[in-house]
Amino acid sequence: MSKPSSWSAEADRRFTSSDLGQKVQASLGTGSRSQRALSEFILRDPVFVATHGIEDLAERSGISPSTISRCVRDLGLSGFPAFRAAVGETVHALIAPVTKLGSHMADVDPENGAAEASLATAVRGLEGLIDPETARSVRAAAQSLGPARMVWTMGFGLSAHLAAILALGLQPYREGVVNVVQYGGTEVAAGRLMSVGEQDVVLALAFPRYSAHVTGLAKAARATGAHVIAITDSTASPLVDAADRVLLAPSPHPLLSASSLPALAIIEALVSEFMVSDPAHVERASRLAAAMAAYL
């Protein structure tokens, strides 16, 4: 049974922007299979790496300690202790509260305390979004929606439902919002996207397990000149390379394949920011509330 991740949006950004993080990011495309697997894990959870030993990392990642040591040396460090210290330097301000939570979660038996484990992970995931950079990123994304000719939302699997919620949230405040994946599968979705253009914004969502379809369609949309905004869980997500802007939301869960709550929080923040960005939107919201009141 996997334990909840200590991941947060701020930790991910802080580590990825560091010199070491850039090396790890580069190894996703150039390293061996083991190096790529380790690099993806590190990018997803740098705080875990900074707060655990090599045996813990081996158990969590499924990569042997000897392989981890070799991969670390390939990154130019003398060994795992030096690597862990280097990672810790980039996320040190986040380690103390995460370690405290990790100790609490270690006492939870997922088989007998699934509700407690799930709720604690949900709180941690939402807390991971509370930082100025996340707010700035959401605000910038919302500002790009107003002048767009069309706004497209897109996701497959679990992300299809999140994309639909995002489309429904935006539709009362502007015309031309299209949810790409509604029915008919990938072929129909691709056909629906054929009218996307350089004045459009595409909001693409991808959470584990990732869909290759959303990445491919996002790249095709970007090739037309459309502005692609990715909402995903990590800079290790394949959707990142297809996007002009990335909104990060943690998705780990102790029992389920992914948590939807942080993504929903990002969606609600994005819709809220777009709504208050124009007095006309606020007026629309008032009219909508008044119309709904008659049915309540």
Question: pLDDT by residue (tens digit) across 166-182?
Answer: 999 999 899 999 999 98
pTM (2 decimals)?
0.68
Confidence band, pLDDT 50/70/90 cuts, at residue 273: very high
DSSP letter for 238, please: G
Q: State residue 104's pLDDT score.
A: 45
Nearest to 189 by CA among 197, 180, 198: 180
Whether residue 115 is predicted with pLDDT greater than 60 in this model: the reply is: yes
Burial classification of residue 197, based on how many CB atoms lie within 10 Å of its CB (0-12 exposed, 13-18 middle, 19 or more buried):
exposed
Structure confidence by residue, pLDDT tens digits, 28-84:
877 788 888 888 888 878 878 888 899 999 998 899 999 999 988 888 888 899 888
For residue 95, name the pLDDT band (cuts at 50, 70, 90): very low
Task: Give the orientation angle of helix 80-106 with respect to helix 114-127, to 10 degrees.
Answer: 130
pLDDT of residue 109: 58
The residue among 132 and 167 whose pLDDT is bigger is: 167
Task: Determine the pLDDT at residue 295.
Answer: 67
Radius of gyration of the chain (CA): 20
State yes or no: pLDDT of 130 exceeds 70: yes
104, amino acid identity: H
% of residues, the chain, pLDDT over 70: 87
Find where tokens 């202790």 sit.
81
pLDDT at 24 over 90: no
Q: State whether residue 151 is helix, strand or coil.
A: strand
- pLDDT band (50, 70, 90) for residue 1: very low
Q: Which CATH architecture has domain 9-107?
A: Orthogonal Bundle (1.10)
Task: Give, rounded to a whole angstrom, the gap between the first and last alpha carbons of the chain.
Answer: 44
Residue 229, φ and ψ in degrees, nearest 5: -110, 120
Do the Cβ atoms of 98 and 127 come closer than 8 Å?
no
- Rounded Cα gap, residues 178 and 197, in angstroms: 13
What tokens were used for 121?
């992970």
**Residue 107 DSSP symbol:** T
What are the sequence ranges of the domains in the chain?
9-107, 132-293
Angle of helix 9-16 relative to helix 19-30, nearest 10 degrees?
80
Provide mean pLDDT across the span 213-238: 92
pLDDT exceeds cutoff 50 at 271: yes
Q: Which two tokens stand for residue 187?
A: 């072929």
Kindly report the CATH number that applies to the domain delimited by 132-293.
3.40.50.10490
Residue 209: the pLDDT is: 65
DSSP letter for 201, please. E
Please state, rounded to an integer, the average pLDDT across all residues of the chain. 83
Residue 168 corresponds to which amino acid? Answer: L
Intrachain domains 9-107 and 132-293 with the same fold = no
